Amino acid sequence: MDWERRKRAAMRVSTDPARALLARLGQPQAGLRVVHVTGSKGKGSTSALVAAGLARAGLRVGRYASPHVERLNERVVIDGAEVSDELLYAALGHALDAREALVAERPDVDPTWFDVMTAAAMLCFRWENLAWIVAEVGLGGRLDSTNVLDGEVCVITNIELEHVAVLGDTHAAIATEKAGILKLGSTLVTGVPSGSEADRAIAARAAELGVPVRRPLEASGASEPDTVAGRNLCVARAVLDELGARGVMARGGVPLSGEVLDSATATGAALPGRQERFRVVGVPTVLDGAHTPASVAAALSDLRRDASLGARPVVVLGLARDKDLEGILKHLAPAVERLVSTSVGTDLHRTAAEIAVAAAAAGVVVESATPPRAALELALGYARERGAWVLVIGSLYLAGALRPDLRQARS
Spatial strand order of the sheet with 61-64 comes to 81-82, 76-78, 61-64, 132-136, 33-38, 151-156, 187-190, 213-214
Q: What is the pTM of this model?
A: 0.93
Please name the amino acid found at residue 409: A
pLDDT tens readout for residues 52-87 = 999 999 999 999 999 999 999 999 999 999 999 999
What values do phi and psi take at 158, rounded to 5?
A: -165, 175
pLDDT class of 308 with cuts at 50, 70, 90: confident
Cα-only R_g, the chain: 21
Distance in angstroms (rounded) separating the CA atoms of residues 274 and 314? 18
Domains of the chain: 3-268 (3.40.1190.10), 276-410 (3.90.190.20)
Instruction: Show the CA angle centred on residue 217, arms to residues 138 and 235, nearest 5°.
Output: 40
Express as a percent the part of the chain with pLDDT over 90. Answer: 85
Contact 149, 76 (CB under 8 A): no
The whole-number pLDDT of residue 2 equals 46
pLDDT tens readout for residues 200-241 = 999 999 999 999 999 999 985 656 678 999 999 999 999 999
